């Protein structure tokens, strides 16, 4: 009897559990009870769900989606790699407004302009023709700026810009050169290291041990870089054949359109006037080599000669259409340049004469005054 009661109780519990499961299953929506198939996209799966708006009257209001839903659908922010340059232990702990660090990398994550003081100050300049384009700060907070071809420490926070100390090549060193302040820096002893226009590098002491500014900077080092290089190389160095490279947009680029072989006002090779001209000639020859080098040691048939001419002419016409070349360039296979001896030895030559499109180096407009416009007052005769 007792065993029968236990069995009936167990059956009742099982029945109750099954009833609860069936009720829970009935309360699920079809979208919740069936997973999205592999062929469904989130968009199609969402469109198959029952929309609450279908059961709402037309005049019922709609609720805005929660802000959290909008944020969750936003694209994640991609963190950029920090652009930092290790501090040079041999240079002053200072800032500059032209180059970000002593290596002149111009690569920074800082908010410009850089400076020691967080406020903006206006100072009246009466000595320099223009405001100082380059400003450096030493470890004491002194502003080091160019001044009349030299270098100076000036008070830029005063109502009128005041010179506290300076070095003038003309006044203090016989003249004949100027300091190139854009690439000047301060070393760890707050000495000013600056290149000059006559190929020297100067080291100037601008403050004493206590940080007080010296009225006249002391020249403690003067190195003739050009003479030292010539002594090491055993030959004279000139500026011819040297191009200026600058750091621009995170890469090194050449400055200007002319080649290093160009000299203003001189009779130079026209190919060397602009770098684009030389590069275009090199591009055409490189393209020829890349395309036809696989044919080397193959039979030089008449069909191959014509195929080379047709293909290269097609490329020349394309350069003209894109504006890289001017005129009507033609590729020629000249008998005068392909002698019987050359042909017997397997040496073939094609000739191409092209005119690369020059860059717009400068654009000028000349405006002249004329009194011809006054004639409108006399049109129509006397009234």
Asked whether the beta carbons of 99 and 106 are under 8 A apart, the reply is yes
* Beta-bridge partners for 150: 147
As a whole number of angstroms, the distance between CA 105 and CA 102 comes to 8
Give 173-193 as a DSSP string. S--S--B-GGG-EEBTT-EEE
Q: What does the block give as tokens for 156?
A: 């830029």
As a whole number of angstroms, the distance between CA 128 and CA 148 comes to 6
**What's the full length of the chain, in residues?**
383
| The predicted structure's pLDDT at residue 244 | 65
Kindly give, in sequence order, each residue whose CB lies less than 8 Å from that of residue 345, ignoring residues fewer than 6 positions away: none
How do the pLDDT tens digits run along the chain, 383 residues long? 444 444 455 444 454 444 444 444 444 444 444 444 344 444 444 444 444 444 444 444 445 555 555 555 666 766 656 656 666 666 665 555 455 555 555 555 555 444 445 566 677 677 776 666 667 788 888 888 888 888 999 888 778 888 899 999 988 888 889 988 777 888 888 899 889 988 899 999 999 988 899 999 999 999 998 888 888 888 887 766 566 676 777 777 766 788 878 877 888 899 988 989 999 999 999 999 999 999 999 999 999 999 999 999 999 999 999 999 999 999 999 999 999 999 999 999 999 999 999 999 889 999 999 999 999 998 876 65
The whole-model pTM stands at: 0.41
| The predicted structure's pLDDT at residue 374 | 93
| The predicted structure's pLDDT at residue 297 | 95
- Cα angle at 331 between 329 and 333, to 5 degrees? 150
Q: What does the block give as tokens for 43?
A: 């968009």
């Amino acid at each position: 009897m007792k065993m029968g009661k236990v069995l009936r109780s167990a059956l009742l519990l099982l029945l109750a559990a099954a009833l609860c499961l069936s009720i829970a299953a009935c309360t699920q929506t079809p979208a919740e009870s069936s997973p999205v198939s592999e062929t469904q996209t989130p968009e199609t799966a969402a469109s198959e769900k029952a929309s609450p708006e279908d059961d709402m009257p037309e005049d019922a209001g709609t609720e805005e989606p929660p802000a959290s839903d909008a944020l969750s659908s936003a694209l994640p922010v991609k963190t950029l790699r920090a652009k930092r340059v290790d501090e040079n232990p041999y240079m002053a702990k200072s800032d500059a407004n032209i180059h970000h660090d002593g290596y002149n990398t111009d690569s920074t994550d800082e908010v410009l302009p850089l400076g020691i003081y967080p406020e903006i100050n206006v100072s009246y300049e009466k000595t320099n023709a223009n405001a100082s384009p380059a400003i450096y700060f030493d470890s004491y907070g002194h502003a080091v700026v160019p001044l009349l071809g030299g270098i100076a420490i000036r008070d830029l926070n005063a109502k009128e810009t005041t010179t506290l100390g300076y070095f003038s090549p003309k006044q203090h060193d016989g003249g004949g050169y100027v300091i190139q302040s854009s690439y000047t820096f301060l070393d760890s002893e707050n000495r000013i290291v600056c290149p000059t226009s006559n190929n020297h590098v100067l080291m100037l002491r601008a403050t004493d041990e206590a940080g007080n500014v010296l009225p006249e900077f002391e020249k403690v080092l003067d190195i003739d870089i050009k003479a030292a290089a010539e002594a090491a190389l055993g030959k004279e160095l000139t500026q011819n054949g040297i191009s200026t490279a600058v750091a621009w947009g995170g890469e090194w680029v050449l400055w200007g359109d002319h080649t290093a072989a160009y000299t203003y006002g001189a009779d130079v090779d026209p190919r060397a006037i602009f770098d684009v001209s030389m590069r275009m000639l090199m591009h055409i020859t490189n393209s020829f080599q890349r395309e036809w080098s696989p044919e080397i040691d193959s039979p030089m048939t008449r069909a191959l000669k014509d195929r080379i001419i047709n293909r290269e002419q097609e490329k020349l016409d394309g350069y003209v259409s894109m504006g890289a070349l001017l005129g009507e360039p033609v590729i020629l296979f000249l008998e005068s340049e392909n002698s019987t001896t050359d042909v017997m030895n397997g040496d073939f030559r094609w000739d191409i004469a092209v005119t690369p499109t020059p860059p717009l180096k400068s654009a000028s407009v000349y405006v002249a005054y004329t009194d011809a416009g006054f004639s409108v007052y006399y049109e129509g005769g006397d009234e």
